[in-house]
Structure 1
Amino acid sequence: MVKNSDPSVNENDFLLAALKANQRVDGRGIYDVRSIELKFGSDYGQVEVQLGRTRISATVSAQVIRPRQDKPTEGQLVFNTEISPMASPSFEAGSRSEQEVMISRLIEKSMRRSRAIDTEGLCIVAGEKVWQIRIDLHFLDHDGNLVDCASIAAITALLHFRRPDVTVVGEEVTIHPVDQRNPVPLSVHHIPISITFNFFDKGNLLVVDPSYLEEQVKEGDMTMTMNIHKEICSLTKAGGIPLEMDQILRCSQITLVKVNDISEMIQKALADDKVSRQKK
């Protein structure tokens, strides 16, 4: 999907004129999120998420490591992102862009600081052996809003993942192959979902789930991560125009509605996948 890095003046003017008339170039309403599709792989913890034409795959894996000295009873969550030029010509091979670093940090922050995953439940032997859970995010197509797509992919893959069962007898640790004993799901306390807003016309206009073109024209942006319990897990605003408090409150209300819808969709997709696996 080849795109120009900078929109033309005509594209810019047309997009802003449409927004002032409460319309968007792609036909969506101002608060509409593009369609979301989830596809699960043959192994647990493999998922591909498509948000409109933005597409990201996530793969979760686990290995046994020694815990950190300052946290002897906690496992580790490790996030790795990879954006190739295949996703968009604006990305260079072999170098991490600012956007990639920002996405990785935002997802890491929303997962870790809100303690979405029970890391103490990943402890096998205190001070000796814990599980390290690694989430690899591969960005396949970029048509705007990589953050929200990556957020959905990461938490869905973690919910779908199963680690091998472990038996500890004295100092002996046995890791059971998945064909001998049913693997174990991770303990997930809550589901953080990111919702991104772009702002235009000095902050008077906003859109949810920005497209690639809207991201090129925006004057500012904000990403709010929330769960269905109305808890804000993270709030990221990297520069751009200043926002009034009532605008931020308005965004939080929109976020809650979207988070409830997306969380429900993820749970349904996971339930459907579980049923299809049982039939095999």
Structure 2
Amino acid sequence: MPREAELSLNEREFILQALRENVRLDGRAFDDIRELQLSFGDEYGVADVRLGKTRVLVRISAEVTTPFPDRKFDGIFTISTEFSPMASPAFEVGRPTEAETLLSRLLEKAIRRSSALDTEGLCIIAGLKCFALRADVHVLDHDGGLVDAACIALVAALRHFRRPDVRVEGENVTVYSVREREPVPLSLLHHPLCVTFSYFNGGEVVLVDANLVEEQVREAEVVVTMNRHGEVCQVAKYGGLPIDALALLNCTNVALAKVQMLDKVIQQRLEEDAKRRDKGGLMAELSAENARANAAIPG
């Protein structure tokens, strides 16, 4: 099975010795994240994130379907991950690696289990019609920090996505195109983001946003997922190194500062994209059409 090229003993020792001397090979401070670049596609719900050399693309799509029998008042939300072979020699189509399984689980816990997305808002007619939302997470380049980059891309794509507006008459559902009515943003209750901490030298050295070579020599990792209000959604630890409670508490404090900073970047990019799209005031015109149409519906 293909796998990542392993570091030589000399390379490993060089990296670890540099960390003991408080030096990262790329010149960052221990608590610095790499440069974040976020852009949106022409379609709603397409987010392209570059974290250093790591690149993740997320695309959100929606279709009208029948809700699950035991969740009649909820829509459907699924997350699908795909690791492209061009991202790393360790990835192969059709053969999920441990990294892919880990990423899927963490995103599932971060978004679905924290109830970040209001799935009841996706219901159209209870038990009959609902929106099925699908998030396709494509890893295009891998240089470490996949969990953080994928979570940023997924949250940004969900905040950017607009589902089609609908009209319900009895059991008949009319789905309007983007040209007919302004599409509707999703109802997100909060915006969880992941921050990964890597441990070295028996836990004495802690790095934020380790790159690939740093990940290959770390002894343990802790993924903290929280929103900008400081609410912790999940804490996941991997590796055999024990982490004491004080160190974990310090991680949450650092994570809060990073999450608030990342949230501001996402919000800024969303505002820039909204201005770019609203040339000529088309969205305002469609929004007014929505209001007139809704006002005309009796009761």
Could you tell me how far 1:5 is from its partner in structure 2?
Answer: 2.0
Correspondence for 2:267: 267
Query: d(CA) in 2 for partners of 1:196 and 1:256?
Result: 12
* Residue aligning to 1:220: 220
Equivalent pair of 1:46/1:60 in contact (CA under 8 Å) = yes
CA-CA distance at 1:93 after TM superposition: 2.4
Larger radius of gyration: 2
The equivalent residue for 2:244 is 244
- The one-letter amino acid of 1:196's match is T
1:188-224 deviation digits (Å, cap 9, x = unpaired): 1111000001100111111000100001000011111
Once the two structures are TM-superposed, the CA of residue 4 in structure 1 deviates from its matched residue by: 5.6
Instruction: Look up the SS of the partner of 2:223 in the other structure.
Output: strand
Which consecutive residues of structure 1, in runs of 5 or more, have no partner in the other structure?
Answer: none
Partner deviation per Cα, 1:39-69 (whole Å, 9 max, x = no partner): 1111000111000000010000001111111
Match of 1:171 in 2: 171
TM superposition shift of 1:84: 1.7
Q: Distance in 1 between matches of 2:35 and 2:70?
A: 43
Cα deviation for residue 279 of structure 1 reads: 2.1
Moved more, 203-212 or 237-246: 237-246
User: What residue identity is the alignment partner of 1:215?
Assistant: E
Q: Which runs of 5+ in 2 are unaligned?
A: 281-299
Contact kept? 1:221, 1:240, Cα under 8 Å: no
Structure-2 residue corresponding to 1:144: 144
Looking at structure 2, the residues matched to 94 and 240 of structure 1 have their Cα atoms a distance apart, in angstroms, of: 30
Q: What is aligned with 2:75?
A: 75
Whether the aligned pair in 1 keeps the contact of 2:4 and 2:88 (CA below 8 Å) is no
Q: Specify which structure has the higher proportion of helix.
A: 2
More moved, 43-52 vs 229-238: 229-238
State the SS of the aligned residue for 2:80.
strand
Distance, in Å, in 2 between the alignment partners of 1:229 and 1:4 is 38
Instruction: Give the match for residue 14 of structure 2.
Output: 14
Choose 119-128 or 230-239, whichever is displaced more.
230-239
Contact 2:219/2:239 (<8 A) preserved: no
CA distance in 2, matches of 1:193, 1:18: 29
Instruction: Name the SS for the 1:22 alignment partner.
Output: coil
Counterpart for residue 194 of structure 1: 194
CA contact (8 A) 1:226 1:233 kept: yes
The one-letter amino acid paired with 1:91 is F
Moved more, 90-99 or 250-259: 90-99
* Aligned mates of 2:41, 2:84 — CA distance in 1: 21
Query: Residue type of the partner of 1:15?
Result: I
* AA partner of residue 248 (structure 2): I
CA shift at 1:238, angstroms?
A: 2.4
Using the aligned pairs only, state the percent identity. Answer: 47
Q: In 2 relative to 1, CA 216–243 (structure 1 residues): closer, same or farther, beyond 3 Å?
A: same
Q: Which runs of 4+ in 1 moved over 4 A?
A: none
1:93 is the counterpart of 2:93: yes
Q: Counterpart of 2:122?
A: 122
- AA paired with 1:244? D
Give distance in 2, aligned partners of 1:112 and 1:189: 11
* TM-score of the pair, normalised by structure 2: 0.91
State the distance in 2 between where 1:240 and 1:274 align: 46
Number of matched pairs: 278
Alignment of 1:53 with 2:56, yes or no, is: no
Q: Which residue number in structure 1 is paired with residue 36 of structure 2?
A: 36
Q: RMSD of aligned C-alpha atoms?
A: 1.1
AA in 1 matched with 2:72: P
